[in-house]
Amino acid sequence: MPIDPARPALPRVMSGMRVSGGGRLHLGHYFGVLKQWLVYAETAEAFFEVADLHGYTTEFADPSEIRSGRDEMVIDWLAAGIDPKKATFFLQSAVPEIAELQLLLSMIVPVSWLERVPTYKGQIEALGAEIATYGFLGYPLMQLCDIAIVKGAFVPVGRDQSAHLEFAREVVRRFNHLYGNGTTILVEPKPTFAQVPEVPGTDGRKMSKSYDNAIYLSDDEATTAAKVKKMLTDPLKVRRNDPGRPEVCPVFSLWTLIADADRTGVVASGCRSGELGCVADKADFAEALNAYLRPIRERRALYAADPGAVDAILAEGTARTREIAAQTMRDVKRAMKLL
């Protein structure tokens, strides 16, 4: 579909993922974000960004995994079924207009707005004071520039991103107020959240690479089965015939993501009555999960074997994004009296 940068025909959707730790995506990404992206790729004019520069905010000392991770991530997007003919994939660092926009917007962003974004202090507590750089402080501003450069109106993200979007909206309002002369130059981006509850990892905490509790789209079937076998279940269901509580069991939470109500109903009642033991349930679940992921993994293998095609998809999308970015920069510079 040819894109008219001035007048998008469909609502414009923008989202991105930070590249870190090798870029491999897990079930939390798939159910929390990628399934939303799939829908938007079909129904909106969607831009999906490989946020490699955001990776540098925490991994600046050793960026090697960012470089290898960006292809891995795109391969996972493609494996999830997002059609690169319907959505535009682009590489953040190859769109220098984003960095230029960030410099211009930095003039109007009070430092206190950035300091009070909760992820700033939270991440310093989690990762240490050495990540408290100027670049890291600017993380939410860079994120806004990713969105604003394509004038994204809707941003499908996880709930952990709501403070970043709130910040983004405030900056856009300030920009339009200062330079818009009564018109809207930058679009206030609205977050859209997946309707699924948080995806638990194998230990019952939120699935996350850093907790080492993730099942990856790129795991093979044996690895997946081994991870499922070790999963925590209801701690009060000790023996096979003890009645269990599916509502506290992470295996059951994952069941509800991949199976229909009939199947989950059978699992839940078997668990509650004590007829179904955790060992048997996990064996059934591993099989069902591998079957669910099989088409994704088959697509993954095809793209992984063709790195040239993956590079071409990213290069083509990046070129398309830069055309729109150039238009946005003209609008911004005119408003700021640089042109």
Give the residues lining the site for ligand TRP (CB under 6 A). Answer: 14-18, 49, 51, 54, 143, 146-147, 155, 157, 161, 164
d(CA 10, CA 212): 39
d(CA 64, CA 55): 11
E strands in 122-276: 154-157, 190-193
| Shortest distance in whole angstroms from residue 318 CB to ligand TRP | 15
d(CA 218, CA 227): 13
Per-residue CA distances from 56 to 62, 136, 267 (Å): 9, 9, 44
| Shortest distance in whole angstroms from residue 20 CB to ligand TRP | 9
| Shortest distance in whole angstroms from residue 217 CB to ligand TRP | 17
Q: What's the token pair of residue 120?
A: 């700033």
| Shortest distance in whole angstroms from residue 15 CB to ligand TRP | 4
- Alpha helices for 149-245 (secondary structure H): 162-179, 221-229
Instruction: Give the nearer residue to ligand TRP in terms of CB position, either 15 or 36.
Output: 15
d(CA 129, CA 106): 23
| Shortest distance in whole angstroms from residue 281 CB to ligand TRP | 32
Q: What number of other Cβ atoms are within 10 A of residue 122's Cβ? A: 12
d(CA 283, CA 21): 30
| Shortest distance in whole angstroms from residue 333 CB to ligand TRP | 22
- Three-class DSSP category at 137: helix
